[in-house]
Structure 1
């Protein structure tokens, strides 16, 4: 089951391209700071892999060596620890059946629009979601949309949703600081489910770091369940690449 969600991550939040090197798949982020589009994943047995060659390949892309560690990558995790890599951003993949999240929303509560409006880009920018991540949204070659959430007659939130096979995935959910605790994020999740159902999805999923307390609380409220997990290993800045 988890593989389908990892495939959905790559399809709905894609790197500029993927390069095979050293038994790894290296994601070229194209200038984005999103770890999901800048990481390497193991593509062969670890015994046949060449971590140093993968590191060299990432450096050639002007990216700091960064590996995604999935559930089956325990041995790689240990090897990278020996090489001076730190764990960063442990992540849950959460999902719920679309049918459980379908709601009829109040008029004007949330709009589907693509490409995103300037006001949405402003909301994202205030939350640290800047041009590199917007470029990821534009290059996704899937059914996709962005959502504009509203509160008290004003733009209040923005999110991106993409579809891969029967799984929709929501990314970059951001609510303006002035509009939090007003139900904007919940309405946007319901709107994402409505869009997902209209496009044939059976599951609505998200990826969220363990540390994002507010988002985890939202997804627990929506009864979204863990279907996978991963973390990253990144080279310490003062460590030598050997």
Structure 2
């Protein structure tokens, strides 16, 4: 991943704490999922660093897991030899902020607020964004906001956006099932872009599971392009 986007990717969804093991940095996620509970390369690593990273994971009572770029064939091979298996292939996508801000958002459809409203937390909790993941948002040090989406005169969707450097990242996009496939996610992304523009960001990015074809179609229509990819590697339990 290009350094500026990589910075935003890490700064806008941080772990509770970090520990280094040779060429790896391990995140302590406190139940908030693989993004913040995995080890990633930060420098030249040696085979024994894998075991050192595993030891940190075990000390923190979390499953040993590595987040590996698709381009890192050496680490992928080393992990496969150690019994690790690939999971959740993910695409990193980005778009110029200006490309999402030219179309007016229908009145009362989206809002950018911080801290999140109780209804936004309820929407997140109804999906996969549990309280541990919501706690990640509180740890972000830079500019951040919660996006509220509305349809049929009721709260229908929520998302989180934050800025690292000159790039904004969008996380935790959730639309209630009865309101999906009606364009709300797209309007929420445009609201995130408008907020990002107001805070000086020039591009906006996100991470999307490759299995999530519906979301990928939305992002493609909005003009996002894939710029990198990664997957998680863990041993079968």
| TM-score category of the 2 structures, normalised to the smaller one | over 0.9
> Contact 2:100 / 2:190 at 8 angstroms: preserved in 1?
yes
Matches within 5 A, 1:167-206: 167-206=167-206
> Contact 2:22 / 2:45 at 8 angstroms: preserved in 1?
no
> Contact 1:23 / 1:49 at 8 angstroms: preserved in 2?
no
- In the TM superposition, what is the alpha-carbon distance from 1:43 to its structure 2 partner? 2.5
- In the TM superposition, what is the alpha-carbon distance from 1:44 to its structure 2 partner? 2.7
Corresponding residue for residue 155 of structure 1: 155
| Alignment of 1:207 onto 2:207 | yes
- In the TM superposition, what is the alpha-carbon distance from 1:72 to its structure 2 partner? 4.5
- In the TM superposition, what is the alpha-carbon distance from 1:106 to its structure 2 partner? 1.7
Distance between the aligned counterparts of 2:130 and 2:18, measured in 1?
22
Corresponding residue for residue 6 of structure 1: 6
Matches within 5 A, 1:32-181: 32=32, 34-47=33-46, 50-102=49-101, 103-181=103-181
> Contact 1:12 / 1:164 at 8 angstroms: preserved in 2?
yes
> Contact 1:23 / 1:48 at 8 angstroms: preserved in 2?
no
- In the TM superposition, what is the alpha-carbon distance from 1:8 to its structure 2 partner? 1.2
Number of matched pairs: 236
- In the TM superposition, what is the alpha-carbon distance from 1:232 to its structure 2 partner? 1.0
Partner SS, residue 95 of structure 1: strand
> Contact 1:105 / 1:187 at 8 angstroms: preserved in 2?
yes
> Contact 1:110 / 1:147 at 8 angstroms: preserved in 2?
yes
Distance between the aligned counterparts of 2:42 and 2:96, measured in 1?
30
Distance between the aligned counterparts of 1:42 and 1:100, measured in 2?
32
TM-score, normalised to structure 2, is 0.96
Runs of 4 or more consecutive aligned structure 1 residues displaced over 4 Å after TM superposition: none
| Alignment of 1:234 onto 2:234 | yes
Distance between the aligned counterparts of 1:23 and 1:217, measured in 2?
36
Instruction: Calculate the aligned-residue CA RMSD, in Å.
Output: 1.3
Corresponding residue for residue 240 of structure 1: none
Distance between the aligned counterparts of 2:216 and 2:227, measured in 1?
14
Distance between the aligned counterparts of 2:193 and 2:179, measured in 1?
21
> Contact 2:86 / 2:234 at 8 angstroms: preserved in 1?
yes
> Contact 2:7 / 2:165 at 8 angstroms: preserved in 1?
no
Distance between the aligned counterparts of 1:95 and 1:131, measured in 2?
27
> Contact 1:93 / 1:229 at 8 angstroms: preserved in 2?
yes
Distance between the aligned counterparts of 1:144 and 1:49, measured in 2?
38
Distance between the aligned counterparts of 1:181 and 1:30, measured in 2?
33
- In the TM superposition, what is the alpha-carbon distance from 1:71 to its structure 2 partner? 4.2
